[in-house]
Amino acid sequence: MAYGNDLGHWGEDIAVEYMTGNGWYLRHRNWCYDGIEIDQVYIDEEDSILVFVEVKTRSTDMYGNPSEAVDAEKRRRIVHAAAAYLSAFKKENREVRYDIISIIGTPDTQHTIRHIEDAFTMLDPYEDFSVSRRYRI
């Protein structure tokens, strides 16, 4: 397995520890639909809020914060897969949140975690996507 994959899996483990340590229950990890992967899905104790989490891990912030890699196209794909998830698991009546967890560091160094709650809404990526497509030459 490549170093990047190892680092990504390590970052996802760190994110699980962080989220469960803050009272969230992990429902699914690396859930896939139509070739799109949702890194992690959490639910609150009352089963009323679903949180779809995209985890981005980098060894350094030399090229910016890892969360910057979640562009409009990535957000659109996450929202698309999340809609399928809600339908498949009959969770349509739950409040939904899209978060990003950004981790900088490695297993051999100290790391920092940045949790961006409500990083985007289900409409944000579609608005960005439609604007970019409208002005494509």
Task: Report the chain's mean pLDDT, rounded to a whole number.
Answer: 88
Distance (Å, whole) CA 7 – CA 62: 16
pTM, to two decimals: 0.86
Q: Which residues make beta-bridge pairs with 38?
A: 31
Q: Where are the alpha helices (DSSP H) in the chain?
A: 3-21, 72-88, 124-134
**Residue 27, token pair as written in the block:** 């429902």
Residue predicted with more confidence, 93 or 54: 54
Q: What are the tokens at 14?
A: 């760190």
The yes-or-no verdict on residue 137 having pLDDT over 90 is no
Could you give the CA distance from residue 14 to residue 133 in angstroms, rounded to a whole number? 36
pLDDT digits (tens, 9 = 90+) for 2-60: 555 899 999 999 999 999 999 999 999 999 999 999 999 999 998 889 999 999 999 99
